[in-house]
């Protein structure tokens, strides 16, 4: 018998596929967009992928369909599944029922930093010999896969607030019932499903309600939206984190300005030191959150710091895709103004006065709807040259955004045109940052090849 996964190349659903395959379940799947890194790791695991959503993908041996939240009524595969009376479930429900039962679940939630923090936390637990399972919305380089069952009693999950499925409009994370919960931050996002910030806060509070009194909340001390959410009611002890000057129990003392070397303090006392290659204040915050969560699971802080010294990073989070003629090309997942700003600020601290050339695809539903119309231009302030990709269905006035950036951004509707213009203007010593939460038409490889043949 086979479990068929609709939307299998999404970062979350791909992880579900890997877990099911590791558990000995035959897995197949289909998706409309098949691209690395998820497609390559699924193929390496021996999972059969099919392009598109067709009823004929449901072979006679399919006994369960796991439905991704990108699928809706009217989709041919969904309609065929319903017409045939097939057994179906959502990814989060499958995870809760088949993997998380009996586990100490450590969940990482927030608008930004979930993938990086969850990756750090899983690596700390692994480094300590706890053999955690995990499901992360990216590929941690220390593991090479986005999900595994693990051999111990701990499971780390990236806890996404997006809705579960077309038949379950609750946030994914309400299914996970964590004992340790990291609340990194909370901003307005996902405008396609949440009408306002208050609607997101209610979902976060539903999550808070599921954490036992013997559990722990690791909370960003500087985030007022999280404070408002916890004021709705909180039944679990918390520990606060701050990577800046805001008072908190967990803080950091920078030994190098760009965050590559810092001391970790708990209630003002040095607990350990981290020397690594991660960029920016946001990763400093992520590290403190991961250290605090790992301590709750029994890992001493000094040991957690030692683990982070060996943390390599996550694919598509400031990942260096190549260096050609002293021009460095990065791939980053940033798709929200706050994440874009912190990514650029971290890179600026690392490269000093070297030029940063930034290329952005406004791909998320919230970005396409124009919600970040006024905040996007300021978030790009650290770049020295800018290109904005204008897909045909964009609901944002990118010309207006471009006029507000310094220097003014180039707005282009064709990826080859962007590649040609960037390559013409790039020079040795430049740092070329590509930001998108999708495949962006393979622009990274196009840029690298064009730079080589220039």
In the predicted model, what is the mean pLDDT of residues 362-380?
A: 71
The pLDDT score that the predictor gives to residue 435 is 87
What digits encode the pLDDT tens for the residues 243-300? 988 999 999 999 988 788 999 999 999 999 999 988 778 899 999 999 999 999 999 9
In the predicted model, what is the mean pLDDT of residues 408-435?
A: 91
In the predicted model, what is the mean pLDDT of residues 11-33?
A: 92
Cis peptide before 37 (omega within 30 of 0): yes
The pLDDT score that the predictor gives to residue 30 is 92
Q: What mean pLDDT, rounded, does the chain reach?
A: 90
The pLDDT score that the predictor gives to residue 1 is 76
0.85 surpassed by pTM: no
pLDDT grade, residue 322 (50/70/90)?
A: confident
Domain 2-90 classification at class level: alpha beta
In the predicted model, what is the mean pLDDT of residues 65-80?
A: 95
The pLDDT score that the predictor gives to residue 409 is 85
Delimiting residues of CATH 3.40.50.720 domain(s) in the chain: 2-90
- In 3D space, the residue among 432, 448, 225, 435 whose CA is nearest the CA of residue 316 turns out to be 435
Delimiting residues of CATH 3.40.1190.10 domain(s) in the chain: 102-308
What digits encode the pLDDT tens for the residues 172-197? 999 999 999 999 999 877 767 888 99
The pLDDT score that the predictor gives to residue 440 is 83
Q: Evaluate whether the domain defined by 102-308 bears CATH number 3.40.50.300.
A: no
What digits encode the pLDDT tens for the residues 209-237? 999 999 999 999 999 999 999 999 999 99
pLDDT grade, residue 372 (50/70/90)?
A: low
> Would you say residue 36 has pLDDT above 70?
no
The pLDDT score that the predictor gives to residue 395 is 72
> Would you say residue 370 has pLDDT above 60?
no
Interatomic CA distance for residues 408 and 42, integer angstroms: 41
**CATH topology for the 319-452 domain:** 3.90.190
pLDDT grade, residue 373 (50/70/90)?
A: low
Contact 30, 51 (CB under 8 A): yes
């Amino acid at each position: 018998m086979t479990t068929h996964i609709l939307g299998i190349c999404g970062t979350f659903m791909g992880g579900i596929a890997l877990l099911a395959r590791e558990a000995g379940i035959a897995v197949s799947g289909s998706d409309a967009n098949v691209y690395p890194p998820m497609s390559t790791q699924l193929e390496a695991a021996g999972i059969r992928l099919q392009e598109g959503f067709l009823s004929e993908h449901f072979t006679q041996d399919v006994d369960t369909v796991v439905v991704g939240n990108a699928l809706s009524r009217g989709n041919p595969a969904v309609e065929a599944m319903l017409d045939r009376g097939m057994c179906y479930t959502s990814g989060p429900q499958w995870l809760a029922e088949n993997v998380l039962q009996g586990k100490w679940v450590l969940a990482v939630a927030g608008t930004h930093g979930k993938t990086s923090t969850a990756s750090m936390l899983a690596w700390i637990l692994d480094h300590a010999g706890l053999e955690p399972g995990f499901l992360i919305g990216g590929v941690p380089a220390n593991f090479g896969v986005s999900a595994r069952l693990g051999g111990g009693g701990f499971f780390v999950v990236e806890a996404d607030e997006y809705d579960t499925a077309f038949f379950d409009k609750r946030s994914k994370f309400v299914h996970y019932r964590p004992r340790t919960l990291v609340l990194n931050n909370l901003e307005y996002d996902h405008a396609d499903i949440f009408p306002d910030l208050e609607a997101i806060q209610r979902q976060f509070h539903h999550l808070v309600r599921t954490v036992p009194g013997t559990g722990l909340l690791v909370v960003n001390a500087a985030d007022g939206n999280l404070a408002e959410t916890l004021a709705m009611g909180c039944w679990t002890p918390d520990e606060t984190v701050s990577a800046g000057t805001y008072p908190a129990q967990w803080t950091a003392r920078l030994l190098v300005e760009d965050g590559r070397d810092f001391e970790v303090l708990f209630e003002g006392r040095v607990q350990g030191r981290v020397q690594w290659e991660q960029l920016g204040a946001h990763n400093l915050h992520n590290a403190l959150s991961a250290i605090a969560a790992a301590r709750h699971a029994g890992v001493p802080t000094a040991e957690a710091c030692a683990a982070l010294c060996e943390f390599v990073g996550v694919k598509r989070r400031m990942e260096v895709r190549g260096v050609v003629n002293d021009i460095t090309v990065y791939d980053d997942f940033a798709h929200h103004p706050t994440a874009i700003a912190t990514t650029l600020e971290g890179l600026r601290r690392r490269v000093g006065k070297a030029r940063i050339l930034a290329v952005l695809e406004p791909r998320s539903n919230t970005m396409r709807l124009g919600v970040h119309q006024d905040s996007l231009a300021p978030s790009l302030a650290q770049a020295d040259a800018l290109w904005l990709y204008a897909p045909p269905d964009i609901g944002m006035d990118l010309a207006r955004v471009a006029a507000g950036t310094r220097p003014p951004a180039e707005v282009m509707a064709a990826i080859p045109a962007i590649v040609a213009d960037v390559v013409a203007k790039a020079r040795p010593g430049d740092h070329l940052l590509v930001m998108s939460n999708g495949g962006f038409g393979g622009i990274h490889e196009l840029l690298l090849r064009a730079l080589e043949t220039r």
